[in-house]
Amino acid sequence: TAPRQAVLISSGAGVRGNQGWSAYALSKATLNMLVQLYAHDMPDTQLVALAPGLIDTAMQAQLREVDSTVFPSVRRMHEAHGTGTMPGAETVARRLLNLLPHLHDVESGSFIDMRKR
């Protein structure tokens, strides 16, 4: 039997074309389209692509080591680090758990930026 709801973790990178993010952005854009397409094929399951925003993780730490003069989008990560704009993983997980019950109101196949909810 199909699940009633599936929330797939996406990224704003899947809707923005930042220099140097080709593989990651393409993978998230593909995920977003997969959610849209599967929403048609699985009408009894609500599917949502959810972008949680910047999260202070080991991946972010590694990305902040990249030269921002070569990859300007990295500046945003430097500016966000240590602020509420880039919370830790546990904080984002709590926000996600609080948001899950409200996602049932969202149209299946949607891309949702969690920071705007």
Average pLDDT for runs of 10 along the chain of length 117: 91 88 94 98 96 93 88 89 93 94 93 91
Task: Name the pTM for this structure.
Answer: 0.86
Structure tokens at 106: 């969202």
- Per the rule left: phi > 0, alpha: psi between -120 and 50, beta: everything else, 53 is left
Measure the CA–CA gap between 112 and 99, rounded to whole angstroms.
11
Query: Of 6, 12, 20, 24, which is the active-site residue?
Result: 24
pLDDT number for residue 21: 84
> Does residue 38 carry a catalytic annotation?
no
DSSP 108: T
